[in-house]
Amino acid sequence: MTVRVVIVDDSSFLIKQIQEFFEGSMGFHVVAVGRDGREAVELWKNCHPDLITMDLTMPKMDGKAAIAEIMKLSPEAHILVISAVKGSSMLECMKLGAKGFVEKPLKFGDALFVEDFRKSVQECLGTDQEK
Amino acid sequence: MEYDAVLLNVVDCAVNAIAIVLGKTPRLSSEGVLLVERLENREDLVINMGMCNAKWQGILTFGSSREDLALLIQDPSQNMALDALGEVLNTAAGMIAGMEDCRKYFGELYQSTPVILEGGTFYPKAHGAQADILLEDSSIRFGFSMRATGG
């Protein structure tokens, strides 16, 4: 079964890169994209994806607040944080229930980074769902 | 390390940030790095970010023409171009702030929210480095300057 993904990031440039990676390299289906935390929560309610990627620094509602909301709705949610924010914020996201973390910048031209990204996605899903 | 040597390393960070974010192989224009007393960036689309602490205040700027950005990211929309330039700026700022030479010389630098400008702006007088970074047929203007606050 194809993995259904929602991508949330306030940069349409990064959304495009992440979407190309998921659809081109992993065979996933990106069902929707969002630009802020509020959209993330709405998209979660409407789409119930297998995986949602979450930026942290975003307008309207930040990623951390969106993770908390989504985990209240669906404690089983698979949330992968993709952010340049590190340290305590990353740990707080994991405590809130995020299942993985990928650090920006996204180096899709770097084979090692791509392999690590792929592993993080698979670990986040809890199983090897790549096609 | 001398200030101008730090500036040259900052330009390296900018070149690396462009390579990482845009996935291209950038090079400096034949003019190389210019050490200037006031930055100049009058490109169509410009993104500036302040980098400062109690003792230093500075500015980091990237800019390019709409046409060049559309070519680089293979997308004609202005929002996509600005987002791409914004990612270059964020990546470069993180690399500069984390660079050991920079931390030794300036201390920890705090970043401001990026500001987008059309047609650039008039920059304050401050010693800095400026370079045109070339990628294929496109060009990105980079600048970084810093001045002591006297604090």
Contacting residues of B for A104, CB less than 8 Å apart: 90-91
Residues of B in contact with A58 (CB under 8 A): none
Token pair belonging to B73? 């990211």
How would you label A102-113 residue by residue, b for 16+ Cβ within 10 Å and e otherwise?
Answer: bbbbbbbeeeeb
Whether the bond between A105 and the residue before it is cis, its omega within 30 degrees of 0, is yes
Touching check for B84 and chain A: CB below 8 Å? yes
For residue range B23-35, list pLDDT tens digits in order.
889 999 999 999 9
Provide the shortest C-alpha distance from residue A94 to chain B (in Å).
23
| pLDDT number for residue B151 | 65
pLDDT, tens only, A63-115: 999 999 999 999 999 999 999 887 788 899 999 999 999 999 999 989 999 99
String of DSSP letters for B42-79 = --SEEEEEEEE-SSEEEEEEEEE-HHHHHHHHT---HH
Enumerate residues 94 to 113 of chain B having a beta carbon within 8 A of any beta carbon in chain A.
94
CB contact under 8 A, A13 and B23: no
Q: Does A12 touch chain B (CB under 8 A)?
A: yes
Per-chain mean pLDDT for chain A: 92
Amino acid A3: pLDDT = 96
Asked if A12 lies within 8 A of B17 by C-beta distance, the reply is: no
pLDDT recorded at residue B23 = 87
What does the pLDDT look like over A54-64, one tens digit per residue?
999 898 999 99
Residue B80 in contact with partner chain A when CB distance is under 8 A: yes
Tens digit of each residue's pLDDT, chain B (151 residues): 688 999 999 999 999 999 999 988 999 999 999 999 999 999 999 999 999 999 999 999 999 999 999 888 888 788 888 899 999 999 999 899 889 999 999 999 988 988 999 887 899 999 999 999 999 889 999 999 999 998 6
Name which of A12, A107, A109 is nearest B80 (Cβ-Cβ): A12
Segment B100-119, tens digit of pLDDT: 999 999 999 988 988 999 88
pLDDT greater than 70 at residue A131:
no
Which ipTM score applies to this complex?
0.78
Distance from CA of B131 to the nearest CA of A (A): 22
Instruction: Find out whether B10 and B35 touch, Cβ atoms under 8 Å.
Output: no
Could you tell me the two tokens for A57? Answer: 């620094």
Quick check: B20 and A104 CB within 8 A? no
Residue A128: pLDDT over 50: no
User: In the structure encoding, which two tokens stand for residue B31, read together?
Assistant: 């003019």
Closest Cβ opposite residue A14 in set B19, B75, B87: B87
Task: Dihedral sign for Cα A52, A57, A60, A66, please.
Answer: positive
pTM of the model: 0.85
